[in-house]
Amino acid sequence: MDSVLKGIEIYKRNSWSQERAQQELTIVNKLLGIIVYNLNINEVFKDLVNELRKAVNVDWAGIVLIRGKVAHFYALSSKIGSAWKAGDTVSLKGTSIAWIAANKKVLVEPDLAQKREFRSDESHLKRGLRSIVYLPLSVKTEVFGVLTIASTRPNAYGEQELALLEHLCTQIAGVVRAAQLYEVEVEERLKLEKEKGERLQFINALAHELKTPLTSIVASGGLLLEELKEEAQSPRVRLIENVIRATDTLEARLSELLDMAKMESLGFKMVLELLDIRPLLQNMFNGFLPVANKKRQSLTLDIPPSVPIVKADKQRLEQILLNMLTNAFKFTGEGGRIQIRLRITSTEIVVEIEDDGPGITKEEQERIFTPYYRIETDRQRFPGLGLGLTLSKQMVERHGGKMWVKSELGKGSIFAFALPIAEHEE
């Protein structure tokens, strides 16, 4: 882009005739158009050459790029047919392209009928071409391709034509380079997408594979517990309860993995409804009270008497709250304090879960919302995959809301999310 703008500057400073300057400006504009709208040079090369014809004699034009030991025909435009087409490759050795790459300068063959330098000259002459100019396309000092312009007229390229062509070449070099980088980028992207797809497929298959036997363990565990109920004090009851708890955790982790894979490939499926979030919070609160009692933690719920309706997927909201509360209880020690609060702003409802647990540093706060990230010190001590917050944040965002954390190391954390208040619907 820079080189094109620089080119326009040079045109402005140049003392060439008005008309020629105008023509050249049109060509440069065309080039600018190529950069902005289409990086596929091959598609616009014909237009470009047509534009060029207003100033220079052109019957055959091509851009050839050097790729290792081969010359690759990148773009072609011809009035007289061509021995090659875009996409063809030929060995570089002994070609005009190799000569230009080695000598890094423009080469003119004024009349092929008189003198022929390269192996391709013969076929050019056979097609009626008489004069050819080869112009290096380079970035810094490296020649990465050649622009070839040819005419059926001998001596078609004088000083003026060459000046214009050389100038044009600087622009084309910039555009082609940008296009090449873009192509590499697209290729890389596609490769990554493919890898990601395969990874997701693998996670999906693995999680499903593990879920099937797990379901039967859970079912059998439940039945066994029923049978052992009479022996309330038996160590066997405690053992089977341990098994059930562990399989529950395993199931939850697998569901997170499946959710993550699903979300990355398809996005979440959401069933939106107009929802009063209060009963949901109340249920969560009731459900977590026994957990709080067990760890001698205090749990409070603070919601205003009337709360505006939100448009939300109830199950997803439950998942988000469950994750935030599980974390709060998991990371806060015995005797800690956990508060569930809801406040209302002019446009949103904000749910906050505050704990007086270990807190999180500023740097970690940025990372904990990325997939599979878990704080180093927690990795050994607590179970988890590091997916809960990632999923929660994405789910909140799918609702048009946002999620964040405020925390100070040693003092505790407030995890919060905001959801837009639903428009009043009749």
| 378 belongs to the binding site for ligand ADP (CB under 6 A) | yes
Distance between alpha carbon 277 and the CA centroid of its chain, in Å? 34
CA distance 388 to 419: 18
Contact 301, 340 (CB under 8 A): yes
| Shortest Å distance, C-beta 369 to ligand ADP | 7
| 374 belongs to the binding site for ligand ADP (CB under 6 A) | yes
| 336 belongs to the binding site for ligand ADP (CB under 6 A) | no
| 385 belongs to the binding site for ligand ADP (CB under 6 A) | yes
Residue nearest to ligand ADP (CB): 384
Q: Which is nearer to ligand ADP, 161 or 256 (CB)?
A: 256
Q: Which of residues 358, 399, 401, 418 is near ligand ADP by CB under 6 A?
A: 358
CA distance 290 to 249: 18
| 328 belongs to the binding site for ligand ADP (CB under 6 A) | yes
Residue 417 exposed, middle or buried by CB count within 10 Å (0-12, 13-18, 19+): buried
| Shortest Å distance, C-beta 49 to ligand ADP | 57
Stretch that binds ligand ADP, among 45-53, 213-221, 372-380, 418-426 (CB under 6 A): 372-380
Q: Which of residues 82, 95, 171, 323 is near ligand ADP by CB under 6 A?
A: 323
| 401 belongs to the binding site for ligand ADP (CB under 6 A) | no
| 133 belongs to the binding site for ligand ADP (CB under 6 A) | no
Q: In what order do the strands lie in the sheet with 60-67?
A: 89-91, 70-78, 60-67, 142-151, 131-139, 107-109
| R_g over Cα of the chain | 35
Phi, psi dihedrals of residue 337, rounded to the nearest 5°: -125, 130
DSSP-based helix, strand, coil % in the chain, nearest 5: 50, 20, 30
Per-residue contact track with ligand ADP, 196 to 235, x per CB under 6 A? ----------------------------------------
Q: Which of residues 52, 112, 137, 387 is near ligand ADP by CB under 6 A?
A: 387
CA distance 322 to 417: 13
Total residue length of the chain = 426
| Residues contributing to the site for ligand ADP (CB under 6 A) | 323, 327-328, 331, 355, 357-358, 360, 368, 374-375, 378, 384-390, 413
